[in-house]
């Protein structure tokens, strides 16, 4: 019977690591199937939670300036644990860092991004 190190599984769990000869952990790639994934756009996110779970609600705010007068309709909800949320936070942080290095700093204050006729 072959040892597990000699014959790694084809689809190991997402957080499984294997050991290299030097003893350093190496992350294994996880194959995914996104054929049935639903893609939606969101410019609104609300974060709530419980002691065990984080709840992310995503929706479209049709009135992005000021306080909306109409309710924002939530189209997607993601419920996850805090361990996954922390890994997601790290992945998002790295992605935004790479984007800003390539294209410049992203200004999150809408009022600072608005160009008025007096500024033109």
pLDDT tens digits, residue range 23-33?
Answer: 667 778 899 99
Maximum mean pLDDT: which of 16-20, 88-92, 113-117: 88-92
d(CA 42, CA 57) in angstroms, rounded, equals 10
Is residue 65 within 8 Å of 116, Cβ to Cβ? Answer: no
Q: 115: which DSSP letter?
A: P
Domain residue spans of the chain: 37-113
pLDDT, tens digit, 9 for 90 and up, residues 15-66: 444 455 566 677 788 999 999 998 999 999 999 999 999 999 999 998 877 7
- For a pLDDT cut of 70, what percent of the chain falls above it? 76
pLDDT at 90 over 60: yes
List, in order, residues 6 or more apart from 101 with CB less than 8 Å away. Answer: none
């Amino acid at each position: 019977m072959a040892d597990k190190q000699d014959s790694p599984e084809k689809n190991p769990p997402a957080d499984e690591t294997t050991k290299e000869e030097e003893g350093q952990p190496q992350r294994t790639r996880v194959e995914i199937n996104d054929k049935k994934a639903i893609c939606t756009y969101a410019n609104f996110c609300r974060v709530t939670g419980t002691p065990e779970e984080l709840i992310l609600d995503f929706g479209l705010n049709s009135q992005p300036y000021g306080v909306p007068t109409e309710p924002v309709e939530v189209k997607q909800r993601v419920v996850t644990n805090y361990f996954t949320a922390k890994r997601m936070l790290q992945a998002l942080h790295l992605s935004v860092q790479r984007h800003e290095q390539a294209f410049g700093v992203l200004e999150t204050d809408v009022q600072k991004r608005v160009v008025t006729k007096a500024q033109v």
